[in-house]
Structure 1
Amino acid sequence: MTPFTFHSDGLALEGTLRVPDGPAQETGWPTVVLTGPLSGVKEQVVGLYAEKLTAAGFATLAFDHRNFGASEGEPRQHENSAGKLADLRDAVSALAIHPAVDENRIGAVGICLGGGYALRFAAFDPRIKAVACIAGGYNDPAAMRAAMGADAYRAQLLQAAGTAAEQYSTGRIDYLAAVSDDEDVPAVMAGPEPFAYYGTERSKADTWVNRLTALTVRELITVDLAIGADFLGPTPLLVVHGTTDAYCSPEGAQTVFERAKGPAQILWLDTTNHIDLYDGPKYVEPAVERTVEFLMSSM
């Protein structure tokens, strides 16, 4: 496990490169780049999955996206959807020239919102030989507008525009809590379930901060990650999802699976909630086992 620094759009991004034990392979190891939940840092969910995938024979890169954790970028704790896709692009470029990596066998694994980003990224970057999406959040503006109602969706955009205008004129960045179990404290991920992970020792990481920019909400409701399924083409896709998930809908996972134009597999796990697939051994172990089988046969 070694530090791995690379650059994207002039920003230094910090990651952890894990390489399997044993003699180096002549052509390098099959390699996986990981991307994870909203607000997450490399020591949390992606770190756990990276550790398990490396034990199974893959080199892995878990890194902090721009604006988060140990990586550079402003505003801090701001979800930048275009930036995150650029981060993934440049992560793969950096991995491809590393001597431990087989540049012809690079895959992507995303968990939670990272599942949507991994899907969208893999669809438009043929260097990715296979993509696995676990408990994925497949954001789709049309679906969000339908769920919220057109008027409420428009009102949310208007509120965001006002926030952006004020930020432009004052230079002040407005923040919300990332998680809160107090209904009187506004949070991007409200409710007891996200708090049960991020608000407890389960997610302990020195660089994680419990806040997100107010404009993160605009990013979440306008980015189209589900469209990746339409453009994935021959790249193999694995969808792993829980049957009970109030934050990243099972319906969204099924829709992405059905929209995929190339080879696709889906594994349903009998979860009790979304964060079961963050760190619950009962759910993470079968998710990893299936992901390993899928990547080994696809890359």
Structure 2
Amino acid sequence: MGHGLGAVKEMGLDAFAERFCDAGYACLVFDYRHFGDSDGRPRQLLSIPRQLDDWAAAIAYARSIDAVDATRVVCWGSSFGGGHAMVAAARDGRVAAVIAQCPFTSGTASVLALDPRTALKVTARGIADVAAAAVRRKPVMIGLVGRPHESALMTAPDAAPGYLGLVPQGYPFVNEVAARVGLQIPFHHPGRVLAELRCPVLVCVCDDDSVAPARQTVRYARRGPTTQLLRYPTGHFDIYVGDAFEEAVADQVDFLDRVVPLAGF
């Protein structure tokens, strides 16, 4: 189980994992390198290729656990991690199923969701960060979330309260990331791999998603030969809490019970 853009496992993944464990499934929840409890310097460096390598490592580790059936590993990802779960499964080729929740599927769609002023600021700081890395200076940072028009990756009105509201009280969360990722995101389109996946896939879409626009995700999901699409009348950050969480996690447990049933295990 992997989280989204700059998020750590304590930001809501524990609640999903607890429900899956209560239903009889084992969960491996991890932080990406450079974030949370994982190693990696400099801190707050988000590299898409490295995060996909982390997914591959997590899948391999799960298969190595004696109590785990190596043929029944499921990738579960949320937001940016939802896109990673799709790509990781496609690259691996032996994953039993995928659950992608409010997934990032199209860099183009997500960038167009930013206002032009913010997009310009993110691009400028991204170029500055790449230049700093070239001469081995410390990273140039931008916010993960911010208010409208600020220099941050997510600036929709519901982004800052929704995202930061998932941080547990007292957790030393850092609301920034090396800006170079802002140059990578527009060219990242993980939703395209849904057409290639042959394992069962559940895509949970938030219709009022301000971060990972629903329209393109729905288009990708409808191209997936093994993809089940569920839609919820909520925003991107609502699915982690309250009634939206209860509905989504129940649907996800039902999906697991169908595609990797526990009978006989």
Per the shorter chain, which TM-score range?
0.7 to 0.9
CA contact (8 A) 2:34 2:45 kept: yes
Give the superposition deviation at 1:281.
Answer: 2.2
Q: Give me the TM-score of the superposition, normalised by structure 1.
A: 0.77
RMSD value, Cα: 2.6
2:84 matched to which residue of 1? 117
Structure 1 match to 2:47: 80
Give the paired residue count.
Answer: 257
1:140 touches 1:227 (CA, 8 Å); kept in 2? no
**Could you tell me which amino acid in structure 2 is paired with residue 240 of structure 1?**
C
Aligned-partner residue type, residue 180 of structure 1: G
- Provide the rounded CA distance (Å) in 2 between the counterparts of 1:129 and 1:38: 25
Task: Specify the alignment match of 1:209 in structure 2.
Answer: 174
| Cross-structure match for 1:231 | 196
1:128-143 to structure 2, matched below 5 A, reads 128-141=95-108
Higher strand share: 1
C-alpha deviation, 1:230, in angstroms: 2.6
Q: Does 1:96 align with 2:63?
A: yes
Q: Among residues 243, 255, 259, which one is paired with 2:223 in the alignment?
A: 259
| Unaligned stretches of 5+ residues in structure 1 | 1-33
Deviation track 1:197-250 (CA, whole Å, cap 9, x = no partner) reads 343475446253111111121222222312221321x21111111221111111
Match of 2:129 in 1: 163
Q: Report the counterpart of residue 290 of structure 1 in structure 2.
A: 251
Counterpart position of 1:196: 161
Going from structure 1 to structure 2, the CA distance change for 1:145 and 1:77 (only over 3 Å counts) comes to closer
SS class of match (1:251): helix
Distance in 1 (alpha carbons) for counterparts of 2:10 and 2:99: 20
Aligned position for 1:241: 205
Q: Is the 1:244–1:270 contact (alpha carbons within 8 Å) kept by the matching residues of 2?
A: yes
Aligned twin of 2:238: 276
**Structure 2 letter corresponding to 1:117:** H
Structure 1 runs (4+) deviating above 6 angstroms are: 144-148, 152-159
For residues 156 and 244 of structure 1, what CA distance do their matches in structure 2 show?
Answer: 24
Q: Distance in 1 between matches of 2:237 and 2:170?
A: 17
Partner-residue secondary structure (3-state), 1:58: coil
Q: Which secondary structure does the structure 2 equivalent of 1:238 belong to?
A: strand
Note if contact 1:122-1:228 (Cα within 8 Å) is conserved in structure 2: no
* 1:218 alignment partner in structure 2: 183
User: Which one is further off, 199-208 or 76-85?
Assistant: 199-208
Deviations 1:131-165 (A, max 9, x none): 01111111345x568888xxx99997686345312
Equivalent-residue separation in structure 2 for 1:205 and 1:297 (angstroms): 39
Compared CA separation, residues 186 and 104, structure 1 to 2 (3 A)? same
Quote the residue 2:263 is aligned against: none
Deviation at 1:120, TM superposition (A): 1.1
**Residue range with higher mean Cα deviation, 87-96 or 195-204:** 195-204
In the other structure, the counterpart of 1:6 is none
For the pair 1:179 / 2:140, whether they are aligned, the reply is no
Within the alignment, does 1:46 sit opposite 2:13 as a pair?
A: yes
| TM-score (normalizing by structure 2) | 0.87
Matches of 1:186 and 1:166 in 2, distance apart?
A: 18
- 5+ residue gaps, structure 2, are 261-265
Matched, 1:69 2:36: yes
Tell me if structure 1 keeps the 8 A contact 2:44–2:177. yes
